[in-house]
Amino acid sequence: MSLPSDAQARKDIPLCTGVLDYFPDALAEVALCSKAGNDQHNPGEPLHWAKEKSTDHANCILRHQVERGTRDKDGIRHSAKVAWRALAQLQIELDNERTIKVKPATVPLIEYLLLRDPRAQANGDSGGGPMVTP
């Protein structure tokens, strides 16, 4: 998925100042968790998300949440695993809500956000593209 080409639309999605700058250490822990998970489930392979190998995010979130503040047997913080699973769950929800059938990298982010925004849909605004039910 790409960011919009419109300057104001890009500024309305503050990835750095609205996420990275808020949580730099936490995101670094999530990145460590991601690498450890890849090393465990995809040994010898480049870092990638094997979505078919991790599907029970809601239950895993709660299991790790119970042990928040401690580290799992692999040394990764349970809270980092909660965050990774929550991001995975959200990404899957967003992927499932996509209403147009194109490669994610070809969908401008602002168009994607408009297409999935129930307020825009209620007003008949489809972000400039056709609404197609998956």
Q: pLDDT digits over 64-112, tens only?
A: 999 999 999 999 999 999 999 999 999 998 888 875 444 455 555 666 5
Average pLDDT for the chain: 82
Mean pLDDT of 26-48: 95
| CA-based torsion, 36, 41, 46, 47: positive or negative | negative
Residue 95 is predicted with a pLDDT of 86
Provide CB contacts within 8 A for 10, sequence distance 6+: 3, 4
- Of residues 5 and 134, the one with the higher pLDDT is 5
Q: Which has more pLDDT, 128 or 106?
A: 106
Give the angle subtended at the CA of 17 by the CAs of 15 and 22, to the nearest 5°: 100
Tokens representing residue 92 in the block: 């899957």
Q: What does the domain layout of the chain look like in residue ranges? A: 13-97, 99-134
CA–CA distances in Å: residue 113 to residues 22, 73, 84, 97, 104: 22, 38, 22, 10, 12
In angstroms and rounded to an integer, the radius of gyration of the C-alpha atoms of the chain is 17
> What is the band of 133 on the pLDDT scale with cuts at 50, 70, 90?
very low
pLDDT above 70 covers a percentage of the chain that reads 72
The predicted structure's pLDDT at residue 32: 97
Rounded to whole angstroms, the Cα distance separating 101 from 99 reads 7
- pLDDT given at position 84: 97
Taking residues 8-33, report their average pLDDT. 96
What pTM did the predictor assign?
A: 0.70
The mean pLDDT value for 13-34 works out to 97
